[in-house]
Amino acid sequence: MKKAFTLTELIFTVVIIGIMTSVGLSFFKTNYLLNDVEYIAVKIKKAQFMATGYQHNDFGSQNSTPDYQNGCIKMDKSSLEENATNKHQVNYKVHVDIEVVDGGSDILCFDAKGRPHVDDFTTASLINTQKQFKFSYNGDIKYINIEPITGYVIITN
């Protein structure tokens, strides 16, 4: 009667489990396109939130240049990537290629009411048609649509 496994049997079992694990893990690839598009959509929503209730122009002073620090986002890789400034944050690298579909500005701003603008914060610069950004990675494409007036962010294929 056998009461234990031999060393050869244990090694053989561990090797087979290792092979099965490596084959299984090869099927789980990171979907950079979906991850990046969702990350960028959150960054757009954050810019909209930061702009809500914020007065961008100080009309009482001589300098009436809009303040683009709050409520604006530049849609390019270098501007969207984040570097951790403390141990509770994570570095994030954007992998997708970004294109403005209508060929307009790659800067998207929101006013104090959360409405999307293209340049400054005047009524004339309100987005009156859907703004669309195209993201591509390894031949796959996704879009982010910014709705006029409301500033809703919609991810489409």
For 10-17, which contacts have Cβ atoms below 8 Å and span 24 or more sequence positions? none
Share of the chain above pLDDT 90, in %: 36
Higher pLDDT, 67 or 22: 22
Q: Is the confidence at residue 33, as pLDDT, over 50?
A: yes
- Minimum mean pLDDT among 29-33, 123-127, 129-133: which range? 123-127
Share of the chain above pLDDT 70, in %: 85
> What is the C-alpha to C-alpha distance for residues 53 and 76, in angstroms, rounded to an integer?
26
Per DSSP, the residues of the chain read: ---S--HHHHHHHHHHHHHHHHHHHTT----HHHHHHHHHHHHHHHHHHHHTT-----TTSS------SSSEEE-SHHHH-B--SSTTS--B---SEEEETTS--SEEEE-TTS-EESSSSSGGGB--S-EEEEEEETTEEEEEEE-TTT--EEEE-
Cβ-proximal residues to 119 (8 Å cutoff; 6+ apart), any chain: 105, 107, 109, 125
Categorize the per-residue pLDDT at 111 as very low, low, confident or very high, splitting at 50, 70 and 90: confident
Domain boundaries, the chain: 30-156
Query: Looking at the chain, how many residues does it have?
Result: 157
Q: What is the pTM of this model?
A: 0.73
* pLDDT tens digit sequence for 44-86: 999 899 888 776 555 445 555 555 567 888 888 888 887 767 7
